[in-house]
């Protein structure tokens, strides 16, 4: 019997990330929470048999096995808490909370009630992320000393319809809460625990913060330089990892987001379209193309299904969610005072 899931929010995250992945992994989407008429119509278009509701209480009344909080960051803590108090496991879209206090409140409530919660750090299942773990395990790069990771775009005009680009940091807007969680969480996944060394956080376009650089020092000795910006006319490579015996370079973004936005999904948890990024190892003038690993966000929800049904570990540890939130809080303080 398929696990029954309700999705709170049906904008970009709900419709184009969580819903198709849940569908592909065999979950039964039975209800969607939204008060937006257009999004309600999208939900019924995608899942004709579901019930669209306008309150969290209605959502929680549908005998659910899982709640996915895919709403605006402003509502994450309140909606996650409501589901946990109802005894229903929760996936919260990143960031789990707008700050460390909110994130702690969710994790501590989960722990006290014994009801699981996890956060959607899906970029850990990008092709580049999986390929990097393979390369690091091989030791071919030698001793790693530096990593550059970027989500850089060129969008000189603010999108007036995007809450992420216009809301204040206190309300959950800005790229420090949108893109940096991915960059931080993958850096932690690859190189282990870390501390923030320095940061810059700026609003170049005059709305929410849209340009940030964080520098992390990992306990392993690796330094991570993380750049998230909407105002980069010449974006750098997606990933560059420097080691004593060579460098790994991946130039392009994993293709899964584009596939999901185009209405495709990984049926049976497997993509039928190519999802492998091109990767190269550089040794000075010598360049070697290496076989990458196909990305697959469905692995997140396959792990969630197993955690619910079999008691196996959840795909993202709450310790990582707390560390990401702590680093973001510190970056907000340090970066805006530079």
Residue pLDDT, tens place only, 94-148: 999 999 999 999 999 999 999 999 999 999 999 999 999 999 999 999 999 999 9
Mean pLDDT of the chain: 96
In terms of CATH architecture, what is 123-301+324-335? 2-Layer Sandwich (3.30)
Buried b (16+ CB within 10 A) or exposed e, 193-217: ebebeebbbebebebbbbbbbbebe
**33 sits in which H/E element:** strand 28-33
Question: Which bin fits 262, alpha (ψ -120 to 50), beta or left (φ > 0)?
Answer: alpha
- Per domain, the residue ranges of the chain are 4-121, 123-301+324-335
The side-by-side arrangement of strands in the sheet containing 66-69 is: 51-53, 28-33, 4-8, 66-69, 90-93, 117-120
Q: How many helices, marked H, and strands, marked E, lie in the chain?
A: 13, 14
Return d(Cα 101, Cα 107) in angstroms, integer: 10
| 155 contacts: CB under 8 Å, gap ≥ 6 | 230, 231
Give pLDDT, residue 170: 87
Query: What's the angle, vertex CA 288, arms to CA 282 and CA 289, rounded to 5?
Result: 115
Query: What would the mean pLDDT of 178-190 be, rounded to a whole number?
Result: 97
Residues 312 and 182 sit within 8 Å (Cβ to Cβ): no
- Check if the beta carbon of residue 232 is closer than 8 Å to that of residue 205: no
* CATH code matching the domain that covers 4-121, chosen among 3.90.930.60, 3.40.1800.10, 1.20.1050.10, 3.40.50.720: 3.40.50.720
Tell if the pTM clears 0.75, that is, is over it: yes
pLDDT of amino acid 53: 98
The answer, yes or no, to whether residue 225 has pLDDT greater than 90, is: yes
DSSP state of 138: H
> Which helix (DSSP H) or strand (DSSP E) does residue 217 occupy?
strand 211-218
Q: What is the pLDDT of residues 234-276, one digit of tens each?
A: 999 999 999 999 999 999 999 999 999 999 999 999 999 999 9
pLDDT exceeds 90 at position 222: yes
pLDDT tops 70 at residue 181: yes
Tens of pLDDT along 284-329?
999 999 999 999 999 999 999 999 999 999 999 999 999 999 999 9
Q: Distance (Å, rounded) from C-alpha 209 to C-alpha 249?
A: 28
| Distance of alpha carbon 158 from alpha carbon 268, whole angstroms | 38
pLDDT band of 337, cuts 50, 70, 90: low
Q: Are 116 and 142 in contact (CB under 8 A)?
A: no
Rounded CA-CA distance 338/199 in Å is 8
Determine contact, residues 132/237, Cβ cutoff 8 Å: no
Note the pLDDT of residue 338.
53
């Amino acid at each position: 019997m398929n696990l029954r899931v309700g999705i709170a929010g049906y904008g970009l995250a709900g419709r184009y990330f969580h819903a198709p992945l849940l569908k592909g992994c065999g979950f039964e989407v039975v209800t969607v929470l939204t008060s937006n008429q257009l999004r309600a119509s999208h939900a019924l278009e995608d899942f004709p048999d579901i019930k669209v509701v306008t309150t969290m209480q209605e959502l929680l009344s549908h005998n659910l096995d899982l709640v996915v909080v895919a709403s605006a960051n402003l509502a994450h803590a309140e909606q996650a808490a409501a589901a946990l108090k109802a005894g229903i496991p929760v996936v919260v879209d990143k960031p789990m909370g707008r700050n460390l206090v909110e994130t702690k409140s969710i994790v501590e409530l989960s722990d006290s009630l014994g009801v699981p919660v996890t956060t959607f750090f899906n970029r850990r299942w990008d092709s580049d992320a999986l390929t990097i773990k393979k390369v690091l395990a091989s030791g071919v790069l030698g001793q790693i000393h530096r990593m550059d990771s970027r989500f850089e775009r060129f969008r000189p005009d603010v999108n007036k319809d995007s809450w992420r680009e216009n809301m204040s940091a206190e309300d959950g807007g800005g790229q420090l809460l949108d893109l940096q969680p991915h960059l931080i969480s993958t850096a932690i996944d690859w190189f282990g625990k870390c501390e923030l060394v320095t940061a810059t956080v700026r609003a170049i376009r005059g709305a929410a913060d849209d340009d940030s650089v964080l520098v992390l020092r990992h306990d392993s000795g690796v330094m991570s330089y993380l750049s998230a910006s909407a105002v980069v006319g010449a974006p750098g490579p997606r990933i560059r990892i420097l080691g004593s015996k060579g460098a790994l370079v991946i130039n392009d973004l994993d293709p899964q987001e584009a596939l999901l936005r185009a209405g495709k999904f990984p049926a049976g948890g497997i993509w039928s379209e190519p999802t492998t990024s091109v990767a190269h190892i550089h040794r000075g003038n010598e360049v070697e193309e290496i076989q990458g690993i196909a990305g697959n966000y469905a692995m997140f929800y396959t792990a969630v299904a197993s955690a619910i049904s079999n008691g196996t570990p959840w795909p993202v540890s709450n310790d990582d969610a707390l560390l990401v939130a702590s680093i973001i809080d510190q970056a907000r303080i340090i970066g805006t005072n530079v």
